[in-house]
């Protein structure tokens, strides 16, 4: 009658994922156009390591963790396996902020204007979502408010692209939105890392609430869950972590959808355990995708957002076929 | 712990659903709320679980109004089983029953020996030992009902509120459920259920609160509440309380014209 899996499964799963994430991080540090290894001896090697590979690996690990965790948290809160971080409008807001920074020409004069513009956009989007959806009420109001804010951001981004006099600025906006970990400095890492970490901290404490919400809102509240507090933590945690991540790297799609999906069966479908598992899984996916990009780079300069979309779309098709088989009479 | 409603009024979506309900469910007793569809049974139970606020009057547990109860302490004393048998993810029955221990656990804390003992006692009581490894989503309605009730029992509450716990159960499991609720109450716990099954209410409940259109029609012992006149008024049926072979039941002949 006891379930030994209940005790050893979480520890083994998380330890395994952590080991894989560490491996992916080291791989990301070791691989680049200048060859395999932690940099040739001398000033150039040291420069490559500190200025190029370390920021890239750190960002990959943090952004992947953020997207995986936020995806798992939103799927758990909304009790919808199709939810992903961009659903509540924060990535759209961040993209709009960055696009405006380019459009208004601030990005050309001030290097940090892009990430700061992205952050301000993400915060504005979060406030708009909270104002629209309120702190009471069910998941559906949150989804609708997120869609409304996303739609507004998309419309304004199109307007900025349309009005752009300078074709180079337009191309810069489009490239930025495809998402990239390349050519980011340690300054950008230090700017975004604290916000991502705080946001992830807010989401990680939600494990119990998400487990309880498995039984529906009334049962969860009767188990001692604070419904308003949970909603506030979900929105604030996603906005801070995903907002900061998107502000620095642009939009890297599908990670938040794909990672929780892939890991859910391994966690016994428990939404609480899925949070740390998806955090690690997101890191692994983004770090490995970025390593793969550097391996194909001599032939094609691909952006990571494009690659994750290329991985994500077939995954989605597989999901459709699997669901169809399950629902077949 | 005594559950009480005193002059309880509740508004939902601008409509007054409860219009000054008086109710007392005592420790050691099995109390049932009966009434026709839409009479306000679920709203009354939700208010008595502290899930919706009173617009006037109050709902209390252990002489303390719900707003004065800290969230965690309330969850350790009172379990609520909703009518909807919702389980959103493909959790196993064992994991679902384990959710009942959440109020007793701190963040990130693993199951203690006390948790495991409570979970296994609940699994035993609901006769679901053979189901524990199966995902609840794949279960029949009756199996799911027993798993979810085991979740509420694993919470080890002083007061249990269950909305239609017998719906969808086969006769053997209905009897087993009510025998268990009776034993649970006999240990000094308060049990409040909403029911549609009049014979089960007549046979097992100590006290019945019959409601009609958001107000109490009458309350008391089954023999006094389930009279022809009251049943006619509450349900529009021609029915009455009978004892057959020493078992109390309700016979209904027809709807009222």
* pLDDT at residue B162, rounded to an integer: 96
Q: How far apart are CA A10 and CA B211, in angstroms?
A: 48
Which token pair is A247? 């502000």
* pLDDT at residue A4, rounded to an integer: 44
Helix, strand, coil in percent for chain B, rounding step 5: 40, 30, 30
* pLDDT at residue A1, rounded to an integer: 41
Residue B13 sits at φ, ψ, to 5 deg, of: 55, 40
Question: In 3D, which of B142, B118, B138 has the Cα closest to residue B128?
Answer: B142
Q: Would the CB atoms of B99 and A223 count as touching at under 8 Å?
A: yes
Which token pair is A16? 């395994």
* pLDDT at residue B80, rounded to an integer: 96
- ipTM, 2 dp: 0.91
* pLDDT at residue A8, rounded to an integer: 57
Task: Specify the CATH architecture of the domain B3-86+159-255.
Answer: 3-Layer(aba) Sandwich (3.40)
Residue in A214, A264, A269 nearest the CB of B99: A214
| Domain edges within chain A | 10-327
Residue in A207, A212, A271 nearest the CB of B89: A271
Å between B204 CA and nearest CA of chain A: 26
Which token pair is A153? 């951001």
Q: Name the DSSP class of A48.
A: I
Count the Cβ atoms, other than its own, within 10 Å of residue A110.
Answer: 12
How far apart, in Å, do the first and last CA atoms of chain A sit? 33
* pLDDT at residue B102, rounded to an integer: 94
* pLDDT at residue A3, rounded to an integer: 45
A137: left (phi over 0), alpha (psi -120 to 50) or beta: left
Q: Would the CB atoms of B86 and A216 count as touching at under 8 Å?
A: yes
Taking residues B13-37, report their average pLDDT: 93
Question: In 3D, which of A211, A180, A65 has the Cα closest to residue A115?
Answer: A180
Q: Residue B39: pLDDT above 90?
A: yes
Q: How far apart are CA B153 and CA A217, in angstroms?
A: 19
pLDDT tens digit sequence for B113-140: 999 999 999 999 888 999 999 999 889 8
Q: At B145, is the secondary structure helix, strand, or coil?
A: helix
* pLDDT at residue A298, rounded to an integer: 67
Q: Which has the higher per-residue pLDDT, B106 or B80?
A: B80
* pLDDT at residue A81, rounded to an integer: 86
pLDDT tens digit sequence for B197-224: 999 999 999 999 999 999 999 999 999 9
Cα torsion A155, A156, A162, A167: sign: negative
What does the pLDDT profile of chain A (329 residues) look like in tens digits? 444 445 557 889 999 999 999 999 999 998 876 666 665 666 676 777 777 889 999 999 999 999 999 999 999 999 988 888 888 888 899 999 989 988 888 877 877 888 889 889 988 998 999 899 888 777 888 889 999 999 999 999 999 988 888 888 888 888 888 888 888 888 889 989 999 999 999 999 999 999 999 999 999 999 999 999 999 999 899 999 999 999 899 889 889 999 999 999 999 999 999 999 999 999 999 999 999 988 887 667 788 988 998 888 898 888 888 878 877 66
Query: How far, CA to CA in Å, does A54 sit from each of A32, A37, A182, A194, A285?
Result: 11, 13, 11, 17, 17
Q: What is the 3-state secondary structure (H, E, C) of A240-273?
A: HHHHHHHHHHCCCCCHHHHHHHHHHHHHCCCHHH
Cβ–Cβ under 8 Å, residues B8 and B18: yes
Task: Specify the CATH architecture of the domain A10-327.
Answer: Orthogonal Bundle (1.10)
Which token pair is A45? 């090697």
Q: At B85, is the secondary structure helix, strand, or coil?
A: coil
Q: Would the CB atoms of B86 and A269 count as touching at under 8 Å?
A: no
Q: Would the CB atoms of B94 and A6 count as touching at under 8 Å?
A: yes
Q: Which residues of B touch A6 (CB under 8 A)?
A: 94-95, 98, 111
Residue in A208, A222, A271 nearest the CB of B80: A222
Q: How far apart are CA A303 and CA A250, in angstroms?
A: 10
* pLDDT at residue A2, rounded to an integer: 43
* pLDDT at residue A102, rounded to an integer: 87
């Amino acid at each position: 009658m006891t379930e030994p899996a209940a005790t050893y499964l979480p520890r083994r799963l998380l330890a395994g994922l952590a080991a894989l994430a560490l491996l992916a991080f080291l791989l990301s540090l070791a691989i680049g156009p200048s060859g395999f290894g932690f940099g040739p001896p001398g000033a150039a090697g040291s420069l490559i390591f500190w200025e190029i590979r370390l920021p890239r690996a750190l960002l990959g690990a943090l952004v992947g963790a953020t997207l995986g965790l936020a995806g798992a948290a939103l799927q758990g809160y909304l009790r919808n396996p199709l939810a992903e971080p961009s659903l509540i409008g924060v990535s759209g807001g961040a993209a709009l902020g960055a696009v405006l920074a380019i459009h208004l020409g601030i990005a050309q004069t001030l290097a940090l204007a892009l990430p700061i513009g992205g952050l301000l956009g993400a915060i504005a989007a979060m406030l708009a979502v909270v104002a629209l959806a309120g702190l009471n009420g069910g998941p559906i109001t949150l989804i609708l408010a997120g869609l409304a804010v996303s739609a507004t951001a998309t419309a304004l981004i199109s307007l900025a692209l349309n009005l752009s006099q300078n074709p180079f600025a337009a191309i810069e906006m489009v490239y930025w939105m495809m998402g990239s970990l390349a050519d980011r400095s340690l300054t950008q890492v230090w700017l975004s890392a604290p916000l991502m970490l705080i946001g992830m901290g807010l989401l990680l404490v939600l494990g119990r609430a998400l487990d309880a919400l498995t039984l529906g809102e009334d049962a969860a509240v009767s188990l001692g869950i604070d419904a308003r507090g949970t909603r506030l933590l979900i929105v604030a945690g996603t906005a801070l972590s995903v907002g900061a991540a998107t502000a620095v790297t642009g939009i890297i799609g599908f990670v938040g959808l794909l990672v929780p999906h892939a890991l859910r069966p391994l966690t016994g479908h428990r939404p609480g355990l899925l949070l740390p598992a998806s955090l690690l899984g997101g890191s692994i996916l983004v770090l490995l995708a970025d390593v793969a990009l550097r391996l194909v780079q001599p032939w094609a300069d691909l952006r990571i957002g494009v690659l994750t979309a290329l991985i994500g779309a077939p995954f989605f098709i597989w999901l459709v076929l699997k669901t169809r088989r399950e629902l077949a009479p | 712990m005594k559950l009480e409603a005193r002059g309880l009024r509740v508004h939902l979506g601008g409509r007054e659903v409860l219009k000054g309900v008086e109710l007392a469910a005592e420790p050691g007793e099995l109390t049932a709320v009966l009434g026709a569809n839409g009479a306000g049974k679920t709203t009354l139970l939700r208010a008595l679980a502290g899930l919706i606020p009173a617009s006037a009057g109050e709902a209390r547990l252990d002489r303390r109004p719900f707003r004065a109860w800290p969230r965690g302490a309330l969850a350790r004393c009172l379990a609520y089983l909703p009518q909807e048998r919702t389980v959103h993810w493909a959790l196993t029955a064992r994991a679902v029953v384990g959710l009942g221990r959440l109020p007793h656990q701190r963040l990130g804390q693993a199951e203690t020996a006390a948790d495991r003992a409570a979970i296994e006692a609940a699994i035993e009581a609901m006769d679901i030992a053979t189901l524990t490894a199966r995902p609840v989503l794949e279960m029949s309605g009756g199996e799911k009902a027993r798993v979810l009730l085991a979740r509420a029992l694993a919470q080890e509450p002083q007061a249990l509120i269950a909305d239609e716990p017998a719906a969808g159960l086969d006769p053997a499991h209905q009897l087993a459920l009510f025998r268990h609720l009776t034993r649970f109450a006999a240990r000094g716990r308060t049990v409040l259920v909403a029911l549609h099954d009049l014979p089960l209410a007549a046979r097992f409940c100590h006290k019945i609160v019959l409601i009609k259109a958001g107000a109490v029609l009458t309350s008391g012992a089954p023999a006094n509440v389930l009279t022809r006149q009251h049943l006619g008024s509450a349900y529009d049926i021609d029915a009455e309380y009978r004892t057959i072979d020493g078992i109390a039941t309700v016979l209904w002949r027809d709807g009222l014209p």
